[in-house]
Amino acid sequence: EAQVTQNPRYLITVTGKKLTVTCSQNMNHEYMSWYRQDPGLGLRQIYYSMNVEVTDKGDVPEGYKVSRKEKRNFPLILESPSPNQTSLYFCASSLFGNTEAFFGQGTRLTVV
Amino acid sequence: QQQVKQSPQSLIVQKGGISIINCAYENTAFDYFPWYQQFPGKGPALLIAIRPDVSEKKEGRFTISFNKSAKQFSLHIMDSQPGDSATYFCAASTITGNQFYFGTGTSLTVIP
Q: Which pLDDT tens digit goes with each residue over B22-79?
A: 999 999 999 999 999 999 999 999 999 999 889 999 999 999 999 999 999 999 999 9
Under 8 Å between Cβ of B39 and B97:
no
- How far does A104 lie from chain B, in Å, by closest CA? 6
Task: Find chain B residues with C-beta within 8 A of A96's C-beta.
Answer: 97
Kindly tell me the burial class for residue B80, based on how many C-beta atoms sit within 10 Å of its own C-beta (0-12, 13-18, 19 or more).
buried
CB contact under 8 A, B44 and A90: yes
Spatial neighbors of B100 by CB under 8 A, at least 6 apart, are A33, A45, A48, A58, A97, A101, B91, B92, B93
Position B31, amino acid: D
Of B56, B49, B37, the residue nearest B110 (C-alpha)? B37
pLDDT for residue B46: 95
B105 to chain A: closest CA residue: A42
SS3 A66: strand
A102 to chain B: closest CA residue: B45
- How far does B41 lie from chain A, in Å, by closest CA? 7
Confidence of residue B2 (pLDDT cuts 50, 70, 90): confident
| Region of poorest pLDDT, from A96-105, B3-12, B31-40 | A96-105
- The proportion of chain A whose per-residue pLDDT surpasses 70, expressed as a percent, equals 100
Q: Does B42 touch chain A (CB under 8 A)?
A: yes
String of DSSP letters for B81-94: -GGG-EEEEEEEEE
CB contact under 8 A, B99 and A43: no
Torsion of CA A55, A37, A94, B91, to 10 degrees: -110
Task: Find chain B residues with C-beta within 8 A of A92's C-beta.
Answer: 43
